[in-house]
Structure 1
Amino acid sequence: MSGHEDDPAADGIEEGKRLIRLGGEKGLSLAERLQDRFHRLTWRTPIHTLRLRGRYPLKLIAVPEDPFFGDVARGNALLEGKLRFRGEERAIDTFDIARPDVSADFLDYVHRFAWLRDLSSVAPRAQAAPIAENLMRRWLHAHADTIADPAWRPDLCGRRLQFWAAHAPLILSSTDLIYRSRVLNTLARGARHIDRVADKQPIGVRRVATWAGVLTAGLLIPGGDARRAVGEAGIAKALALSVFDDGGIVSRSPRDQVALIRILTMLARTYDARRMVVPASIDAALARMVPALLGITHGDHALSSWQGGGPLTADELDRLVDGTGIRTRPMRQAREWGYQRLAAAKAVVIVDAAPPPVARVIDGGCASTLAFEMSDGPHRLIVNCGGARAAVAHLPPDLAEGLRTTAAHSTLVLADSNSTAVLADGTLGKGVAEVELTRQESEQASRIEASHDGYAKRHGFVHRRQLVLTGDGRELRGEDMLLPAGRRAPKRPQTPFAIRFHLGATVQVTQTADGLAALLRLPGGTAWQFRCKGGALGIESSVWIDGDGRPVATQQLVVSGEAAPGGANVSWALKRAA
């Protein structure tokens, strides 16, 4: 997977290439919000009800394969009569699907029927089918006849159609013909529901998922050729808007990237089940998205933590890539996806070198510009706190929101403020609008220099960060500079700053007697020395959200100081000592 990481030209990296990408808040306008609200209200009108009427299929044309393995713990919980998701658990027999008292993420898990994958991964059909049928009957009773949010939200409806099709043997094995007819009728009504609304969904996962549902119905419900033709055109357009040319999703969220890869792969297997050629737009998107995702993996082959996502485990990531059937290497430079990868020997450094995503394409975005993570082989040395959108449900709301801030990432924080405003409604506001990036490669080292303007208007400074990873992977040299932002003079005589380096969960840290350095010990005896110049070094507590969404107490190095109107400069280095 990483056999070409020592080839600087493998990604077509141009030395000294200057990359600029403009961002901005660009959230939904009031008119767009009102239009969306009005559209949802129309679902309950007689006209929409009439649109959902029609013939229902007696059976599906084919049953596609689900290429992905489910979560064993959640599957075993289902065998015990419980629904479990991210720290929440409800007994199936007493769970009120019509009026649930669970988190939105738990409810999405139920409504999209993703639990079918978990169940099928731990039990044979004879054991799993009665459990699936019981939950299906309860869901049909609560939601089949009432078209309302969130159960009939178009993207959930689209994903539900995919799971129903792939796991049809679990939900359609009953000899009860009335029940079978109701399942198939609801499936057909779901397809009609999303036929006309797919392009009204937000670009990204939600729009593509809705079109995937349209295509699944077009492929598997008899007489669906016209729907399939419309769906293929629709998903091609949706992918062009939702996925950058370099393969990254526009939300810049690894969590969304994983979700979209799964949706498209399931859709490709549906074409395989019909012995039909997968549309080029789907194949091409997957071929770009997998290497982009691998580009943000560490030496432990698990994901780094960006835009609210957690460190998807190596096993989960391996199963994901195996399911796609794509064999590729990690992408080192993603111009629009925005993550730069430096790799030498056992060291991997991943840098966020782009503005945060615009508000309309992500919920729960993070102000992480110019943050980095670093690993030495299987051990994470420097991390971001991560997990704002992937943590367990019982995480305190204030902590979950705090994970979105600049201070929760390994980068410079000026005047205890965010480089991009983090808003209470889950969106991002004003801040970083432009990032400039220069990358150079040689046999001796890989060098990145990047700057952002997130603090320019408020505090009069541009933050510039330089990172140099030596060719033997034994040293990372860094420099953080605060430069006067042209005519925008700093507004105070001294502006406090803090450069944060959140440490991996297995790192043991000891500060040296002179207070200018720290020794970082990894499992197995490996040690790295951190030294800095231009600020005071301290050690503070921190938190890291692990692969299961659980908070883990950790520590962080903090280099603090004050910037005069002329700016400030802090140099630092991480050097492998043993």
Structure 2
Amino acid sequence: MTPQAVATPGRAPLLKRLLGRGKRPLRLTAVPRDHVQGDRARGDQILAGKLVRGAEVLDLTEINFREVGTTGPLAQEAQAFAWLRDLAGTASRERGARVAEAVAARWLVAHGNKVDTAWAPALWGERLLFWAAYAPYVLSSHDAAYRAALLNTMARGVRHLGATADRADPGLQRITAWAGLTAGSLLLQGQVSRVARAEAGLTRALATGQADDGGLLSRSPAEQALLVDRLGLLRAAYHAAKQTLPEALEGAATAALAALHGVMLGDGGLGSWQGGNPGDSLRLAALVEGCGMRARPLRQARGWGYQRLDALGTVLVMDAAPPAPTRITRLGSASTLAFELSDGAQRLVVNCGGPGLLPTGITAELAQALRTSAAHSTLTLGDKNSTAILPNGNLGRGVEDVTVDRRDDDEFNRLEAAHDGYVRGFGLVHSRGVMLANDGKEVRGADRLLPSGRRRIRDAVSFSLRFHLGPGVEAVATADGMGAILRSPGAPPWNFRCRGARLEVEESVWVDGQGRLTGTLQLAIAGEATAQGIDLGWQFRRSS
């Protein structure tokens, strides 16, 4: 498959219009090197003409970009050419170029001469990052008209972003648009005068989309991984252009990586937060290894909102912040004070997760249910979410204030947090205290409902405290109904004990890194709360 393979009667005139009459062909002044290794198995699929993501497949050999559109994760990946990394991970330059140039030529025919949805700022930003990094795959053709058309279209994309980058949604999309504009300005002949303005725009986008501690305001681990990727590609562009990345951008990139590390569990995957799932641990490892940055996991994050405790291979991550507002994300979840726990590579306590950014067979109704408090390892009161999830998927009223206190000593790492999500409806604050032993063998916890505000409930209200168990974890309840033995293939046995209410082992679900639903178990502690509140204690302890 070559660019010539997509020739049509109107193709030559089109490429001439894209080149522009009387214009000298542009060139790239430098080509960045993407150090992130692509997925070889996925690259083989692309080499065979199939772009696969989650539950969806696109045929690249006959792709019509107008029909593909820009809606959905797979269409956006195709339009942004992010799949070039996986193609390069398996194919030689010669073999890969035959595929990449043919697809790029089809894109030019569909979108090169018309500003439409494929020219959305975030798509153009990502496309510029990947076309520049994989120029040997999309610009190796002997067809001078094709090469000139692609390069001139890249230049038009740079000019387009100069006028539209701030129209992208705040957060990852706006950051991506400005990052692509910055890279294009650095690398395309004749565009260097745009660099200073692009850097200023990117700095603004980071200031409005990223917390001071490095985490995106969307609080999505999956988006955080993409942020690290975008900034890593931008760093490579600066290196190729023999320019120094501004200190503010370098600091933002390093902080982004630290925040990402902070929500990764012992198996190298992400935590299941904000409607997302663990993702592909091998892909994440390649990103962390190849992004060009190094950072320690962020442990205390007020803006990013995730608190991390770790000791000798045991990792606990708690959501200690309000959900992100709907204007920032459509996947915000009622997960405040939930936590996840891993022992080595074994996930012991999890949240149910969700499809996140993957195409999936999970229905919209179920995906919304997976965003509820009950789908997270935390306490629910009166069958209500700590933050309301409205029928249209937006978040309503609920958690506004979360207090956090951390204290460490010779025996334990201690975390105390409380939220006000149940004050308005029930006059009760939910407080959760967690202690992780310094040898990693014990987690002690207490969940309390404490009177607060003027409202007082007259009748008792049901509560449920849930600990969703990781894939492969089996639970056998003890005879007294106050504990369970947890066994898994990936870790020694753990014993669970509780006080304040009886324990039941019930069915649950978990979404894996491919967006597939898996049956699991949960430890459920249920009872009734009065206006005076409740006090529940619990403990996980490793047997060896």
Query: Following the alignment from structure 1 to structure 2, what is the Cα–Cα distance between the partners of residues 554 and 577?
Result: 22
Matched, 1:105 2:73: yes
Query: Following the alignment from structure 1 to structure 2, what is the Cα–Cα distance between the partners of residues 520 and 101?
Result: 47
Query: Following the alignment from structure 1 to structure 2, what is the Cα–Cα distance between the partners of residues 504 and 484?
Result: 33
What SS is found at the alignment partner of 1:360?
A: coil
- Contact 2:121–2:167 (CA under 8 A) maintained in structure 1: no
| Cα gap change, 1:54 to 1:222, in 2 (>3 Å) | farther
- Give the CA deviation at 1:121: 0.8
* Equivalences for residues 33-112 of structure 1 within 5 A: 57-100=25-68, 104-112=72-80
| Cα gap change, 1:259 to 1:163, in 2 (>3 Å) | same
Match of 1:563 among 523, 529, 533: 529
Match of 1:291 among 258, 276, 291: 258
- Contact 2:29–2:188 (CA under 8 A) maintained in structure 1: yes
Counterpart of 2:181 in structure 1: which amino acid? V
Query: Following the alignment from structure 1 to structure 2, what is the Cα–Cα distance between the partners of residues 271 and 291?
Result: 21
- Give the CA deviation at 1:455: 1.5
What SS is found at the alignment partner of 1:361?
A: coil
Query: Following the alignment from structure 1 to structure 2, what is the Cα–Cα distance between the partners of residues 54 and 362?
Result: 46
| Cα gap change, 1:157 to 1:291, in 2 (>3 Å) | same
Matched, 1:573 2:539: yes
Query: Following the alignment from structure 2 to structure 1, what is the Cα–Cα distance between the partners of residues 289 and 21?
Result: 40
Q: Which residue matches 2:439?
A: 472
TM-score (norm 1): 0.87
Q: Which residue matches 1:406?
A: 373
Query: Following the alignment from structure 2 to structure 1, what is the Cα–Cα distance between the partners of residues 247 and 331?
Result: 32
- Give the CA deviation at 1:392: 4.1
What SS is found at the alignment partner of 1:462?
A: strand
Matched, 1:529 2:495: yes
Q: Which residue matches 2:337?
A: 370
- Contact 2:31–2:135 (CA under 8 A) maintained in structure 1: yes
TM-score (norm 2): 0.92
Judge which range, 277-286 or 522-531, deviates more: 522-531
CA offset digits 1:313-341 (Å, max 9, x no partner): 44323221221233332222112211111
- Contact 2:447–2:535 (CA under 8 A) maintained in structure 1: yes
- Contact 2:270–2:277 (CA under 8 A) maintained in structure 1: yes
- Contact 1:57–1:188 (CA under 8 A) maintained in structure 2: no
Query: Following the alignment from structure 2 to structure 1, what is the Cα–Cα distance between the partners of residues 41 and 231?
Result: 25
Query: Following the alignment from structure 1 to structure 2, what is the Cα–Cα distance between the partners of residues 104 and 426?
Result: 17
Q: Which residue matches 1:116?
A: 84
Match of 1:233 among 200, 211, 218: 200
Q: What number of residue pairs does the alignment pair up?
A: 527
- In the alignment, structure 2 segments of 5+ residues that lack a partner are 1-16
- Give the CA deviation at 1:258: 0.9
- Contact 1:310–1:390 (CA under 8 A) maintained in structure 2: no
Give the percent of matched residue pairs that are identical in Structure 1 and Structure 2. 46
- Contact 2:499–2:536 (CA under 8 A) maintained in structure 1: yes
Q: Which residue matches 1:28?
A: none
What SS is found at the alignment partner of 1:98?
A: helix
- Give the CA deviation at 1:426: 4.2
- Give the CA deviation at 1:571: 1.3
Query: Following the alignment from structure 2 to structure 1, what is the Cα–Cα distance between the partners of residues 476 and 287?
Result: 38
- Give the CA deviation at 1:544: 1.4
- Contact 1:516–1:531 (CA under 8 A) maintained in structure 2: yes
Query: Following the alignment from structure 1 to structure 2, what is the Cα–Cα distance between the partners of residues 162 and 493?
Result: 59
- Give the CA deviation at 1:483: 1.6
Query: Following the alignment from structure 1 to structure 2, what is the Cα–Cα distance between the partners of residues 246 and 525?
Result: 32
What SS is found at the alignment partner of 1:526?
A: strand
- Contact 1:469–1:476 (CA under 8 A) maintained in structure 2: yes
CA offset digits 1:42-63 (Å, max 9, x no partner): xxxxxxx9xx999675211111
- Give the CA deviation at 1:464: 0.8
What SS is found at the alignment partner of 2:43?
A: helix
* Equivalences for residues 343-492 of structure 1 within 5 A: 343-490=310-457, 492=458
What SS is found at the alignment partner of 2:185?
A: helix
Query: Following the alignment from structure 2 to structure 1, what is the Cα–Cα distance between the partners of residues 341 and 245?
Result: 38
